Amino acid sequence: MQVELVPVLSDNYAYLLIDPSNRVAAAVDPVDAAKVYARAKELQVTISTILTTHSHWDHTGGNNDLRGLIQQKENREIPVVGGRGNAVEAQSQTVTDGDVVTVGELQVKVYFTPCHTRDHVLFHCQDALFTGDTLFVAGCGRFFSGNPAEMHYALNEVVAALPEETQIYCGHEYTASNLRFAAHVEPENEVVQKKLAWAVEKTKAGEPTIPSTVKEELAKWNAVCMRLSVDFSASAPVL
C-alpha cells in the first residue's frame, strides 16, 4: 500500500491510496480534480474509485470533475463512495459502519463517525486512516451537525482503538493553529511548545506536518480532545 499526498486549495489535503501490485488507486477527497488526476498520471496509476469522507464542498466539490476527466480521457466510469444521506457530490455508492470498499487488492474498512457532518466516515486501510474533518493533527473538527458525545465516540472509541502505529491522514493543515490552542490550555507543557515550534517551521517551509499516528495523537503533547482521562484544567480562560 502507498499513500500519496496531494495538497489542494489553501490548506486541504487530497490523497491517492495506491495498490502498488496493480497500480490502481482510490482518490480520497479530490476537490481539485485536475491536480489529483495529473498526479495519478505522473505516478502511472489508474484511479478506480473516489472515496469521500463527507459532504462539505472542500472535500466533495471535485467529484463530478474527476469523473468527467476519466470519462473523457479514458472512456470509463468510476464509483463515488460516500456516507449515509447521499449528500456527497456525484455519490453512487453509500457506505456505513463496517462496510468494506475494494481498491485493487486493498480492503478499505469504513467507520461511520457523524458529528462534523451527519454523513462523515473514516476510511481505514492497513496502517492508514483517512480522517477527513473528524480528526486533525492535535485537534478535531467542528461539531456542525453533532454533539460532544458523538465526537468522543469517534476519537476515543473508534480511532483510539486502532493500532498505535496507524498513520493519520487528515483533511486540512491545521497543526500549528491546533497546537497554539493546546499551548493556551496547557501553557506549562514544554512538549507542546516544542511541537508547536516544529509545526510553525514546517508550515513556513511549505511542508506538510502529516501524517501523524494514533500514538502521537494520544500523547501528552497532542490532541486535547483525545486525552479526556487526563486531569488538567486551563490556567487561563479558553476563548
pLDDT in tens, 147-199: 999 999 999 999 999 999 999 999 999 999 999 998 998 898 888 899 999 99
Buried b / exposed e along 168-186 (16+ C-beta atoms within 10 A): bbbbbbbbbbbbebbbeeb
- Is 97 known to be catalytic? no
Catalytic residue among 19, 29, 59, 65: 59
- Is 119 known to be catalytic? no
Confidence of residue 225 (pLDDT cuts 50, 70, 90): low
**Residue type for 93, please?**
Q
Question: Is residue 235 scored above 80 in pLDDT?
Answer: no
**What distance in Å separates the CA atoms of residue 55 and residue 33, rounded to the nearest whole number?**
16
Q: What is the mean pLDDT of residues 11-26?
A: 98
Place of cell 501528552: 220
Q: What is the pLDDT of residue 236?
A: 37
Q: What is the pLDDT of residue 227?
A: 55
Residue 119 · residue 55 · CB < 8 Å: yes
- Is 54 known to be catalytic? yes
Place of cell 473508534: 158
Place of cell 479530490: 30
- Is 152 known to be catalytic? no
Q: What is the mean pLDDT of residues 199-225?
A: 86
Catalytic residue among 116, 119, 120, 124: 116
Q: What is the percentage of the chain residues whose pLDDT exceeds 70?
A: 92
Write the burial class of residue 42 (CB in 10 Å: 0-12 exposed, 13-18 middle, 19+ buried).
exposed
Q: What is the percentage of the chain residues whose pLDDT exceeds 90?
A: 86
Query: Quick check: pTM over 0.85?
Result: yes
Catalytic residue among 19, 54, 119, 120: 54
Q: Report cis status (omega within 30 of 0) of the bond before 114.
A: no
Question: Is residue 112 scored above 50 in pLDDT?
Answer: yes
**Per-residue pLDDT tens digits for 38-66:** 999 999 999 999 999 999 999 999 999 99
**What distance in Å separates the CA atoms of residue 4 and residue 216, rounded to the nearest whole number?**
21
Residue 181 · residue 139 · CB < 8 Å: yes
Catalytic residue among 19, 29, 32, 56: 56
Question: Is residue 231 scored above 50 in pLDDT?
Answer: no
**What distance in Å separates the CA atoms of residue 174 and residue 199, rounded to the nearest whole number?**
9
3 state SS of 143: coil
Rg from Cα positions in the chain: 18
Question: Is residue 220 scored above 60 in pLDDT?
Answer: no
Question: Is residue 237 scored above 50 in pLDDT?
Answer: no
**Ordered structural domains, the chain, with CATH:** 2-226 (3.60.15.10)
Q: What is the pLDDT of residue 218?
A: 87
Catalytic residue among 58, 65, 119, 120: 58
Question: Is residue 232 scored above 90 in pLDDT?
Answer: no
